[in-house]
Structure 1
């Protein structure tokens, strides 16, 4: 994160922070924090900005945060820069919501999408249920082709629930299988439980194999001593 001073004096949950901290969606993949800062500082003094990236690969998630010194500058940035065309993207600028129960269960995990699905088509499938604040089409690391899997984050929990109700089990145009739409947090828990179960089973199987090998070794030793 690029910090330009002053931000450390304000706590994350302050009302002032809620009125000065912006989330910027649909950033071009190659946009840097310096470029993001240069764009938003034209409105007013910026305390900090950050482009969200994968920690290991450095791959941009396509969104970031900009925190202003003054609430009026943040509001002006929304009215001025929201919808701005930057390269092949149209920015979506809005106030960043504080963490808490009000934003839980808004991120959906979607599988069985058509392999050739685009971001625009993803918007067409899910945008009718509410405001999409972030989306991510997962791609194969080798081929770069879509895997038919995506994350779609809505602005409100009610919108996400409505999307699940109407889209789970639906075969989309161009698809061959019904969509599986669920809360991303639930998917993460199921995956963790699966691996925990697999690891436990593997440990038990390995212990049984070791015990069996030890018993055979002891039998051979006993036979050798009996013949000596």
Structure 2
């Protein structure tokens, strides 16, 4: 069978399916070759058939295609993708900031309830708005002080291995829209699993605010 005959023999539906798969694979290949997103870039509204599969994944799209596979198609990921797209657009934020916030919330509040996840997002956003810390979400999440990570999942690899849940997307959305339980907290720690040196620093250098969901929340003395 020649190539010409093969095309002629296809049903319209088969031809449509092949066209869709080719287009989606083109998007996937584009993602795999993308350079790191600029932290100063502006969020862009992505149009086209692949948007709902890919938007909201950012760099995660290269690591978590297992969650949004071609085999599953667009429908299962549609709601998550659309929600993520709207959050990025509505908050005028770079996609890599959004990706970093989703991942640190998922990693730090794994198994926690909605409030626990919102609180983690609150702390990150409080740092962005505080002159003692970097002024972007991505830089806050990945900051190191004297070589020490500010968030342990950036050191032990959890931030790269998490699978973002619908609940985490909702928690981040609510935090970005102003829902805040943090009382201005800039730090949190899980005392039971933390290094004792870190615990001692928190207890002597910071002001404790409250405890929730296995984390203790702190700010600077006098704040």
Give me the TM-score of the superposition, normalised by structure 1: 0.28
**Higher share of residues assigned helix:** 2
**Higher share of residues assigned strand:** 1
Structure whose alpha-carbon radius of gyration is higher: 1
